[in-house]
Amino acid sequence: PDAHTIADAAPSPSAHLHEHRDGDAKHAHFTLQRSQSVLAWSLALTLGFAVVEVVTGFMSNSLALISDAGHMVTDAAALGLALLAQLIAKRPPSARHSFGFGRAEALAAFVNSLVLLVLVGWIIFEAAKRFTHPEHVQGSTVFIVAAIGLVINILLAWMLSRGDSNMNTRAALVNVMGDLLGSVAALAAGAIIYYTGWMMIDPLLSIFVALLILKSTFSVLRESYHFLMGGVPDTIA
């Protein structure tokens, strides 16, 4: 074949680049859709069980279970904000927002972290009151509900860990991991109260979990605040 035929048969550089961009766009769209689906299912599971924990928490008079219920509600808020942030972040730049809406994710993570700090403060306050005035807790109810919550939180953590990794998904995963610890604490509190009748374990484990959640929350709060203030990324020395 002559040179003209070879040139006609070879793909042009512009065609190759165009096909590559199309593939990248389809892959990015699929990844975003999968991430949104994971967040939506996680939100539905979290809200559904939060209602169960709120009702049974007050029925059993367990601070550990009530705290876990409050954390589940905070998880739902985190997941809802993360889902909303992803939808907002897809909007293209405009004349009023020339840099787009990418900071919506960081803003949602920052707001969620502040709410979580308030929740931790409430848990510690209520636990301190129960140290001076112990209250009766239905250990068997706490144990059963906490066991179900533990299974649900493990499922949520697995779903979020397999989703798209971004700031809000990581923030939601931090909340779920903290809630998983809350379920473990409530499970232990229910078992100890049922077998020994020691009511002080309920506020004691609540404070322990609150402090663990506090430690994890500060890292997300620092990262989102740093991004919102236009700080230099940690990867740049």
Over residues 190-215, the mean pLDDT reads 87
Within 10 angstroms of residue 61's Cβ, the number of other Cβ atoms is 17
Nearest CA among 60, 61, 63, 59 for reference residue 71: 63
Q: Convert the pLDDT of each residue in 101-144 to its tens digit.
A: 556 667 777 887 888 888 888 889 989 998 988 888 999 999 99
CA distance 117 to 98: 33
Nearest CA among 131, 148, 138, 134 for reference residue 52: 148
CA distance 72 to 193: 23
In terms of pLDDT, which residue wins out, 166 or 135? 135
